[in-house]
A = this chain, B = another copy of it.
Amino acid sequence: MTEASTIRIRVWNEYVHETRGDQVVVANYPDGIHQVVAAGLRERLGDRASVTTATLQDPEHGLTEEALAETDVLFWWGHIAHDQVDDVVVQRVVDHVHAGMGLVVLHSGHYSKVFKRLMGTTCSLKWRNDGERELVWTVKPGHPIAQGVPHPIRIERQEMYGEFFDIPVPDEEIFLSTFEGGEVFRSGVAYQRGLGRVFYFSPGDQEYPVYHHHDIRTVLANAARWAAPRSERHTLTADEHPRGWFEA
């Protein structure tokens, strides 16, 4: 894995809203949210990335051991079907993050089994869906994920996610969002878990065309590059040290 390598990205979506005939969702994402997220990543990263998708309905949700072994960065979108994700697959994803796979969790994925397992908190938050303006402010201007976006990013209509957001103190707080109603949200936060990098980004909802937004696409492409592993996948295990092992 070198910086020049192609990043292998897999975009996962529960893909339930879109197939239930919800006209608003279908209008925004006719082939599924994953396809729009994937298209945005391809648009921005070009031949620096190869982007595939997977959904809940695929065998093993499309997240077999083989699939994950060939994934550098996994994007995760889920909302109303978190409980349908098999615990075996959840553990497999978590294991790969620990071993170095990058993970980008989107919007309502805050309540996914995978994210809650990696955070160790309830990941609860306050919310209200009134189609309000969201402003996304950069509070870590030197961070690679914040490159190339205006301050603030302006999203005309969005669902409100507000504090208190029950997450661990972020390793890096990159974006803060405000909403017309006056609420605030830590909307872009980064963590390391084992050897893997995790980025949570709240903008994006099935009812609004946020993943078509120019600046949001920039953030997601930046996040893919940031989350890509710097070294070979490696599972951390407890090993007894022979006496003087570091002498070798």
Residue numbers of A with Cβ under 8 A of B are: 3, 98, 100, 111, 117-122, 124-128, 130, 133, 135, 137-142, 144, 147, 151-152, 154, 160, 162-166, 168-169, 171, 173, 176-178, 180-184, 186, 191-197, 229-231, 236-246
Q: Across the two chains, which residue of chain B brings its CB closest to A154?
A: B246
A130 near B243 with CB under 8 A, answer yes
**Measured CA separation A95–B98 after assembly (Å):** 24
Question: A244: which B residues are within 8 A, CB to CB?
Answer: 181
**Measured CA separation A224–B243 after assembly (Å):** 35
Q: Across the two chains, which residue of chain B brings its CB closest to A110?
A: B238
A238 to chain B: closest CB distance in Å? Answer: 4
Q: Which residue from B142, B163, B236, B242 sits with its C-beta under 8 Å from A100?
A: B142
Q: Which residue from B126, B142, B229 sits with its C-beta under 8 Å from A195?
A: B142
Question: A122: which B residues are within 8 A, CB to CB?
Answer: 98, 194, 236-237
Stoichiometry, as copies per complex, reads 4
Question: A171: which B residues are within 8 A, CB to CB?
Answer: 168-169
20 A-B interface contacts by CB (under 8 A): A100-B142, A120-B120, A120-B168, A122-B194, A124-B237, A124-B238, A126-B240, A127-B241, A138-B163, A138-B164, A139-B163, A141-B164, A141-B195, A142-B195, A142-B231, A168-B171, A168-B191, A169-B171, A180-B182, A183-B246
A142 near B192 with CB under 8 A, answer yes
Question: A238: which B residues are within 8 A, CB to CB?
Answer: 111, 124-127
Given the known inter-chain contacts A126-B238, A154-B246, A246-B135, please indicate yes or no for A192 contacting B169, CB distance below 8 A.
Answer: yes
A98 near B237 with CB under 8 A, answer no
A176 near B163 with CB under 8 A, answer yes
Given the known inter-chain contacts A240-B127, A241-B126, please indicate yes or no for A194 contacting B121, CB distance below 8 A.
Answer: yes
B139 near A243 with CB under 8 A, answer no
**Measured CA separation A243–B98 after assembly (Å):** 40
Question: A173: which B residues are within 8 A, CB to CB?
Answer: 169, 173
